[in-house]
Amino acid sequence: MSISEILRSTLLIGPEISLILTGIILIIFDPLINGKRKNELFWIVLIGLVIAFLLNLERLHTEASAFSGALSLDVFSGYFNVIFIISSFFAVILSREYLITMNLKSNEYYALILFSTSGMMMLSSAKEFMSIFLGFEIMSISVYILSGFNRESIRSTEAGIKYLILGGFSSAILLYGIALIYGASGTIFLDEITSKFDVQNPLYLAGSALIITGFIFKIGAFPLHQWVPDIYEGAPMTVTGFMSVGVKAAAFAILLRVLLEGVYQMDANLIYVLWLISAFTMTIGNLGAIVQKSIKRMLAYSSIAHAGYALIGVVATLRGEEIGLSSVLYYLFAYTFMNLGAFGVLAYLSRDGKECDNYEDVSGLWSKKPLIAIALSIFLFSLAGLPPTIGFFAKYRVFLSAIKADFYWLAIIGILNSVISAYYYLRVLVYAYMGEEEVKFPSFKPASAFAITVLTIATLILGIFPFYSWDFALKAAASFLPN
Amino acid sequence: MVVGVEHYLVLSAILFIIGVFGVITRKNLIIVLMSLELMLNAANLAFVAFSRALGDMTGQVFMIMAITVAAAEVAVGLAFVVSIYTHRETLDIDVLKMLKG
């Protein structure tokens, strides 16, 4: 690789560089600034994210390859980068007051969110296993620290170490799988591996099984979903929101790329394995969510269920149904707004170092904070898939893709599950609108209120007029599929 | 006896399995972290063995990257272990049961 190729490639990865530079600036300037003004570095984070967003717009209509083909900067990666940047943008805004409430340091926190986002962006464009592995680890290690960020709280520390051990375990499995694939094919580039793939060779089969296992873990799908509730419950609220949308979308991005561009096109049985995984993930997530006493843990189980819904689209895509891919992409996009919004409301309602966690904690919300109650109901309606929200349209597309690919049972299981899910989402609203316990709510928080307002409007407007954003997903999917 | 790539592979598979069992069964957090390292290093061994057998440098570069990542991971892990110890004064993994539904 020549110097000019390195320079050319470096110019192409502007969004990643702007996030990493912003993170480094935060870490350098944090000790230099004293006292209360430390919090003002928040604005630099927002500027960095906006610059990354603007630089990323370039990717939405061009296609380039950087670092000798290691990264493919196509519309697909641009689309996912939009999801990542939006999720970290709102997570940062929601965190501003949440961190003050919980008495946590802010600048390291923001820097870690930015580093983690840059890892996700690397993952969404990676086309060979070294970038995939490094992207995974840049993303994951930052998120491990974030989940254990509240050092005073034993729960948060526990979530951090559990995530680290289980995440490290899955990374090691992934790495071993990559080693086997490398040994069998002599290359780590996805397209070259595809051309050399040989079903008879046990190294390929063992390697791809281990790699898929690693991805399934990160998505939090059955049978490797048990870590999700514990870690989502223990991590700080805004981190949970960020993890449940960002990390999940990144894991889906790389799963799709490896499945569609890499090795696994040939194996027809894989579709049925993913079919089962999808059905079980939905069902187990929903059944688990019903019995929870904590809203945060309920949302953790619901995020398992949503991974199952998105997997329906993956299964349809593997069957060759083009609308499947765009429906997965759209589902992840929609999920970003509604889930981050739900966690944002809970972060808003946290006060004096105590998180808004149990169902009783939202009791009587409607009579004291009607606007927040309305926002919460819109997010929960959207998660339950009721019209006219974005969640309805996304779910409709995913189920439609399953029906088009002749997976009727999968669509039926999905629809039944989303009926069950309405029970536990609406149960929160029963407490919020009809609860009579005396709960103290925090005073007005301008930044979080702004973020929640924008997310509410997006959830509604994109639900009523979905076609512009849907076209965007179609375009990303079309650029990615070979024909 | 000529030591071929198969021998290295068998060794790395054994190390990997020892690591998996260590993570699953051991009670001490430090030992769990060590077992995690063992799993990562088993993969590294496989990389180097394949790299040598194929006459291709990619595997060795990958191994160096993986070692860097493992170092970062264990640094974070030890920081958590210290934090757990200051809270609970024990490293038994059974103290990690605050989070339950």
Q: What is the pLDDT of residues A192-249, one digit of tens each?
A: 888 887 777 888 888 888 998 899 998 888 888 888 888 998 899 999 999 999 999 9
Which candidate, B59, B30, B29, places its Cα nearest to that of B43? Answer: B59
Query: How far is A276 from A399, CA to CA, in rounded Å?
Result: 16
| Dihedrals phi, psi of B2, to nearest 5 degrees | -90, 130
Which chain A positions have a beta carbon within 8 Å of B17's beta carbon? none
Nearest residue in A to B96, CA atom: A158
Q: How far apart are CA B87 and CA A101, in angstroms?
A: 22
Query: CA-nearest residue of chain A to B31?
Result: A165
Cβ atoms of residues A178 and A188 within 8 Å: yes
Residue A160 vs residue B96, higher pLDDT: A160
Chain B residues within 8 angstroms (CB to CB) of chain A: 5, 9, 12, 16, 19-20, 23, 29, 32-33, 36, 39-40, 42-44, 46-47, 49-50, 53-54, 56, 58-59, 61-62, 65-66, 69, 72-73, 76-77, 80-81, 83-84, 87-88, 96, 98-101
Residue A310 has pLDDT above 60, yes or no: yes
Mapping DSSP to helix (H, G, I), strand (E, B) and coil, where does residue A369 land?
coil
- Mean pLDDT for all residues in chain A: 87
| pLDDT of A314 above 70 | yes
Chain A residues in contact with B29 (beta carbon < 8 A): 161
Is the model more confident about A338 or about A36? A338
- Identify the residue among A68, A129, A144, A158 best suited for mutation to test binding to B, counting B beta carbons within 10 A and taking the highest: A158
Tokens at A186, concatenated: 């002599």
Question: Where does residue A219 rank: exposed (0-12), middle (13-18), buried (19+ CB within 10 A)?
Answer: buried
Task: Write out the H or E segment, with its range, that includes residue A266.
Answer: none
When computed from its CA atoms, the radius of gyration of chain A, rounded to whole angstroms, is 21
Q: B38, B76 in Cβ contact below 8 A?
A: no
pLDDT at A483: 46
Is the pLDDT reported for residue A352 higher than 80? no
pLDDT in tens, B44-60: 999 999 998 888 888 99
CA distance B3 to chain A (A): 17
Q: Which of A180, A146, A234 is nearest to B49 (CA)?
A: A180
pLDDT tens readout for residues A101-146: 888 888 889 999 999 999 999 999 998 899 999 999 999 999 999 9
Percent of chain A scoring above 70 in pLDDT = 98
Residues of A in contact with B62 (CB under 8 A): 129-130, 133, 178-179, 182, 188
Q: Above 50 in pLDDT, residue B95?
A: yes
- The pLDDT, as a whole number, for residue A262 is 63
pLDDT per position as a tens digit, A275-302: 899 999 999 999 989 888 888 889 999 9
Predicted local distance difference test score (pLDDT) of residue A482: 60
Can you list the alpha helix ranges (DSSP code H) found in B1-101?
5-25, 29-54, 58-88
Q: Which of B9, B65, B80 lies closest to A164 in CB terms?
A: B80
Give the start-to-end residue ranges of the domains of chain A: 288-483
A328 and A310 Cβ atoms separated by less than 8 Å: yes
Q: Which long-range contacts (CB under 8 A, 24 or more apart) does A302-305 make?
A: A302/A383, A302/A421, A302/A424, A302/A425, A303/A220, A303/A228, A303/A232, A303/A244, A303/A248, A303/A339, A304/A220, A304/A221, A304/A222, A304/A225, A304/A228, A304/A229, A305/A281, A305/A417, A305/A421
Q: Using a CB-CB distance cutoff of 8 angstroms, which residues of chain B are in contact with residue A188?
A: 58, 62
- To the nearest whole number, what is the mean pLDDT of chain B? 88
Greater confidence, A263 or A379? A379
pLDDT tens string A134-177: 999 999 999 999 999 888 888 888 889 989 999 999 999 999 99
What's the average model confidence in pLDDT over B78-96? 84
The CATH number of domain B5-90, selected from 1.20.1250.20, 3.40.50.11740, 1.10.287.3510, 1.10.3300.10: 1.10.287.3510
Contact yes or no for A83/A247 (Cβ under 8 A):
no
pLDDT tens digits along A456-469: 999 988 888 888 88
Residues with Cβ within 8 Å of residue A376, at least 6 apart in sequence? A342, A345, A362, A365, A428, A429, A432
- Taken as a whole, chain A contains a residue count of 483
DSSP B42: H
Answer yes or no: are the C-beta atoms of A102 and A137 closer than 8 Å. Answer: no
